[in-house]
Structures are given as C-alpha cells and as structure tokens.
Amino acid sequence: MNPPALPAVQTRDLSRVYGNMVALSSLNLTVEKGDLFGFIGSNGAGKTTTLRILATFLTPSSGSAEVLGHDVVREADRVRHLIGYMPDFFGVYKDMEVTEYLDFFGACYKIPAAQREKTITDVLELVGLSEKRGALIGALSRGMQQRLGLARVLIHDPQLLLLDEPASGLDPRARIEMMAILQELQRMGKTIIISSHILSELQTLCNRCCIIEKGKLIYSGPIKGVKSELSEAHAWWVRVVGSSDKAQELLRTRPEVARVELVEERLKVVLNDLNGDGSFIADTLVPAGIKLLELREDEIGLEEVFLRVTKGETQ
C-alpha cells in the first residue's frame, strides 16, 4: 500500500508575534499538491506574514510549517529550492536587460551557464516576454515587470509558487493575462498560493481557498464550499407576470421556504436548506396559472461572503 501523498504546505498551530501584536494565531492550514489556492484576508490579516514564513524569511514564534514535507526552519535551504516567492513589491534592476536579470538569478541558483540560456528562453516564452528579452527593464510597463518577476521565480523550476498580490497595480488586460499564466502553470503541475484583493478573479481562478482575519483561520476548503459553509441563507429570485401577491401566498405555504420578500418587483425566496433545490418553485406556481419571467438562484460571490464573515479588523 502506497503511503499518502505529502501536502504541498502543512502548518500546525503556526503563530507569529511582534512585540505585543499577534500577527498569526495558531494557524492550521493544508494546501494539497496541484492546488491553485487563494489566500484571502484584509490588509494586516496575516497573509504576508504567513507567506514570508513559508518562504523562510521569517521564523515562527511557535508552531511549525512544512513545504513538501520539509520544515521551513530546520530545512530552510532545501525549502528555498522548492519554492518561488514573489512579494507584493520587489526590486528590479532597471538598467539591466531582461536576459541579464534572469541570468543573474539563474546563476544564484547555480544553474549551469550552458543550461541557463535555454531556461531563460523557456520562462520568457511562458510569461509572454520573448519579444522583450533584449529590452531594458526600466522601459517595461508595470504589467511586463510583474511578468518578469514571475519569470524570475520560475527560473529554477520550483514546485510551489508563493505569490503575494501578483496583480497589484495592473490594468484589467494585464490582470487577465497574469491570471491566464497562473492557470497554465497549474496545468503544468505547479502548486500556487496566491493572495489578492480581487476576490472575483480568485473565485474563477482558484480551486481552493482560505479566509483569515486578525491572524486566525475562518475558512479553508473548496471555493465552491465557501457559500454553503459560510452563507447564512440560500435564496432564489422569482419574477412573475402581473401581481406577485398570489405567488407570495403559495410559496409561503411550502415547507422548504423560510421566508418570501418583495424586492423591487421581484420575490426573494429564502430556503430553509442551504443546499436546497429551487425547482419546487416552478412546480408550485406554474400549475396555479402564474407565468414566470425569471427564476434563478441567488449567486453569492466570494466578495459578499468575505464581507459577511469578516469584520474588517486588522492587527
């Protein structure tokens, strides 16, 4: 019998204290191999602290963290070869050419000179900067510099990417291009942890996520599970031809319905069951001669869930 696969990241009661301020409090987090994992929290919630600990730049005050089975404190050198860390703000040498910049970091990772040229060509193609290989970094747009930063963290072919706000400051097109690159990296087998304030993009990009506030874990699991686990209600929107009075009366008699509200000429039908099926609504109204103009599930987005379950508190 094969032993269970090691998770990409495992933290146990991970804590970090700065003086009297608790930045992380007993964080227990698991990220599986191949995940594109969204790390969600307000500024000051502890996201960057966590990523810096995983990147071996900070030591925990207590608890432990492992990357692919290696302790980030005791085996820091080994961990550094397994990860690629891209901070929210990173320095670039603006007077260097793109290939010079990547060659420098390739040498830092002791990639043989004969191999570096092909590696640089490959990562530039992956991030869509092949045509800029001879350009000065200072002449690149903000979006291109972000892509160059991603190329830098890929130069040694890491298994785990730690990306802190990689789309920060990018225009919409550059953000879309960055997200497409991350999806391609996941298809290549990379595990990616990404923190971002653009929750609508994380909702479509990531397969799993966590939400933290004031250094404490509120939720960790599938993106699709956020709604069912953290939402307070499950609702459907209904719009009918003519007056909605009869529809309201009929729906209030159904045991599946917690309440019915009239909101701007539409009925909001709140169910008792968070996972309830709303098909009974049509089965109730149509035989009674009520014509439906609209029947759709109330889609609660990641941003709305985040606002509901957090208080906006920081350290």
Res 312: pLDDT: 56
Res 75: pLDDT: 96
Per domain, the residue ranges of the chain are 9-222, 232-299
Which of 161-187 are b and which e, b meaning 16 or more Cβ less than 10 Å from the residue's Cβ? bbbbbbbeebeeebbebbbebbeebbe
3.90.550.10, 3.40.630.10, 3.65.10.10, 3.40.50.300: CATH of 9-222: 3.40.50.300
Closest CA to 70 of 165, 131, 6: 6
Domain 232-299 in the same topology as domain 9-222: no
Res 171: pLDDT: 83
Res 314: pLDDT: 46
Res 301: pLDDT: 66
Which of 115-144 are b and which e, b meaning 16 or more Cβ less than 10 Å from the residue's Cβ? ebeebbeebbebbbbeebeeeebeebeebb
Fold of 232-299: Alpha-Beta Plaits (3.30.70)
Res 201: pLDDT: 76
Low-confidence ranges of the chain (pLDDT < 70): 1-4, 92, 227-233, 274-275, 299-301, 304, 308-315
